[in-house]
Every structure is written in C-alpha cells, then in structure tokens.
Amino acid sequence: MNVLERRQKAYQNSNGICILCNQPILSHEKWSVEHFIPRAIYKWIQKPEVELQVESAANLFAVHMDCNLKKDAEIPTVNTINSLNVSQTIKDELLLVYREIYDSIEQYRSMKQSVWAKQECSCAFCKKRIRLVKATLRRINNQLERTRENAMCLCFHCSLKASHPEYKKKMVDKKQLSK
Ligand SMILES: [Zn+2]
Ligand SMILES: [Zn+2]
C-alpha cells in the first residue's frame, strides 16, 4: 500500500470518524493515520512478523491531529478494541491481528511496566509521578538498541521534548541515566 492508499483505508476503517474523540473529521480538519496497536510494539519487540501485523490495513484508523497529540500511551486490550466506534467487521479483523501478536504485546506491556516500576512510577526526566498509561517508553541512548536495559519511561510532556536528540542527551547526562 502506498501512502495515499493507507490514508484511504484508515479513513474507511474509521468511517470518517476520529476513533479517539468519536467526532467526524471535517474536510478542513487535519488528521493523521493512527496505528491502533502501536508501532512501538514492533520497535521494542523486534520480530518481522509483528511489524507486518501492526502495519496491516486492519490496524489503521483516522484521528484528528490534535487528538493524536493528547492521546494516552495505553496498550490495546480486547476491551478497548470492542469499545471502538467502528463496524463489527473491522473490529473482528483487528481482533485477529491482536490475537496473532498477543505474546509480543504482552512482552512489550511487561517491559514497559517493569521500567516504570524501577523508576518508582515516575518520569525519568522531571521525576513527576505518572500513571502507567501516561508513560512512554523511550531509549536512554539513541545509538543503542531498544532493550529493557536501554529503556526509560517519560511523561508525555518530557517525551515530546525528548524528540529533540540534543535535548534528550543533555537530560540523560544530567540525570545520569546512561550506564
Ligand atoms: Zn478527534
Ligand atoms: Zn516528565
């Protein structure tokens, strides 16, 4: 699928409604393609078959750009899939994808939870306490692989700022996070 086909498929799957706020996407509104089962799973649990499933058409939905920015880093469950405001056919397809890669999703979930618990449920940068669903898993050192040893949890605000590699490196050094 090329970029345009992916956008069309995402829009169709969502029936023109943002899956995060359940409001229609109006023609003047900016929207993006959302992977309901997040790409983070195949980035951290590196298996080609997981990447294929996460990138499959059934996992693509349309969301407002603004809604996407405010979204929790919650990992999907059967319940969150069933509560999606999309057709049953789409849900069934997505549930198949979910079941296919369930073990990897659980592995990712447990990695994120253990990193978060190790940090005493707080953001590695600002040290504010965060709920697990608000925590984003990030690499400590961008030069190294995504492994549990090279992982940290950040709050939403810090994870946005950490998209700038310079800032991230400065903070990692300051907080003495790298091993
Ligand atoms: Zn929305
Ligand atoms: Zn923070």
112-155: pLDDT as tens digits: 999 999 999 999 999 999 999 889 999 999 999 999 999 999 99
Question: Nearest Cα to 138, choosing from 112, 120, 102, 114?
Answer: 112
Nearest bound ligand to CA 154? 2
CB crowding 35-70: b at 16 or more within 10 Å, else e? bbbbebbbebbeeeebbebbbbbbbbbbbbeebbee
The per-residue pLDDT for 71 is: 80
Centre of ligand 2 to C-alpha 135, Å, is 9
Predicted confidence (pLDDT) at residue 179 exceeds the cutoff of 70:
no
96 plus 139 within the same structural domain: no
Pick the last residue of a domain from 69, 103, 137: 103
Q: What is the mean pLDDT of residues 9-13?
A: 96
Q: Is 120 left (phi over 0), alpha (psi -120 to 50) or beta?
A: left
The per-residue pLDDT for 33 is: 96
86 plus 130 within the same structural domain: no
Centre of ligand 2 to C-alpha 3, Å, is 33
The per-residue pLDDT for 58 is: 95
83 plus 138 within the same structural domain: no
Centre of ligand 2 to C-alpha 125, Å, is 5
Centre of ligand 2 to C-alpha 117, Å, is 15
Question: Nearest Cα to 55, choosing from 11, 97, 118?
Answer: 97
